[in-house]
């Protein structure tokens, strides 16, 4: 393998763009009119690990009897670049899914980043987050842990293990080690309590399961459960399977997305 030589000033190669459509600039690229339904909540998303966090959360709220947690769900096809349209960028200037609009607020409230969305919904409806200071703080500890740790699994391990044009030992070893360290942390934590933050199921479980539970169950990257020997993390495996059986989780994974452009 030829060693990469650092240029004095890095420049983006327009002739070889990222498959994700990313560029070193932010902002919208085309005019777009997003559909808006009648439900209080308008969700623009995709069934990725970050996207399913919100559909699971909303379906869990419905299971808890929250009547005004109805939502319209629209597909943002990131492969087609829907996330760079003007209406979507107006909601999320970072051009990443998911993005949520609460049109029951006046004026309407726009929320982006999955952690922020789940925290907003938990506080709005008073569900899935403890009300006592100790339980709330422990839940938020793990919420922010997931937000900070997740990119090592997705953009780090997942990218170099599953998507990079060629397999490279250094990044795969580096991110496999960190991913296994995180898995070990979760396994040790779940050896002491039934849920991530304690005795209650919270938004911390939803956020973490969407990445690490799905990884443990072999749903993220083909063969990675064996590659990482995830079966050896017995407490994590038991938790992952238990969460997967929740009706709200199953419904959150099966929900249908409406197309942006209706035929």
Query: How do residues 31-53 score in pLDDT, each as one tens digit?
Result: 999 999 999 999 999 999 999 99
In the chain, the percentage of residues whose pLDDT exceeds 70 is 97
Query: Are 58 and 121 a contacting pair, CB within 8 Å?
Result: yes
Handedness of CA 109, 110, 116, 119 (dihedral sign): positive
Query: Are 190 and 236 a contacting pair, CB within 8 Å?
Result: yes
Query: How do residues 176-199 score in pLDDT, each as one tens digit?
Result: 999 999 999 999 999 999 999 999
Distances (CA, A) of 227 to 99, 108, 151, 152, 166: 33, 46, 19, 16, 17
Q: Where do the structural domains in the chain lie, given as residue ranges?
A: 133-246
Domain 133-246 has what CATH class?
mainly alpha
Dmax over Cα atoms in the chain, in whole Å? Answer: 59
pTM: 0.96
Query: How do residues 110-159 score in pLDDT, each as one tens digit?
Result: 999 999 999 999 999 999 999 999 999 999 999 999 999 999 999 999 99
């Amino acid at each position: 393998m030829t060693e990469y030589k650092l240029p004095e000033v890095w420049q983006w190669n327009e002739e070889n763009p990222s498959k994700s459509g990313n560029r070193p600039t932010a902002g919208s690229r085309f005019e777009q009119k997003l559909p808006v339904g009648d439900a209080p909540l308008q969700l623009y998303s995709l069934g990725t690990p970050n996207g399913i966090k919100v559909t699971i959360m909303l379906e869990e709220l419905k299971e808890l009897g929250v009547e005004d947690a109805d939502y319209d769900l629209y597909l943002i096809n990131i492969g087609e670049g829907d996330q760079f349209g003007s209406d979507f960028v107006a909601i999320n200037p970072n051009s990443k899914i998911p993005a949520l609009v609460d049109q029951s607020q006046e004026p309407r409230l726009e929320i982006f980043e999955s952690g922020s969305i789940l925290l907003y919904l938990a506080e709005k409806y008073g569900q899935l987050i403890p009300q006592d200071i100790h339980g709330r703080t422990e839940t938020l500890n793990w919420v922010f842990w997931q937000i900070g740790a997740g990119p090592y699994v997705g953009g780090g391990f997942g990218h170099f293990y599953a998507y990079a044009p060629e397999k490279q030992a250094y990044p795969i070893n580096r991110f496999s080690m960190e991913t296994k360290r995180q898995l070990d942390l979760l396994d040790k934590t779940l050896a002491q309590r039934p849920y991530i933050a304690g005795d209650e199921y919270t938004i911390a479980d939803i956020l973490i399961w969407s990445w690490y539970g799905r990884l443990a169950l072999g749903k993220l990257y083909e063969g990675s459960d064996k590659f990482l020997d995830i079966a050896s993390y017995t407490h994590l495996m038991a938790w992952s399977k238990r969460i997967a059986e929740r009706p709200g989780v199953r419904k959150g994974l099966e929900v249908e997305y409406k197309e942006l452009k209706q035929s």
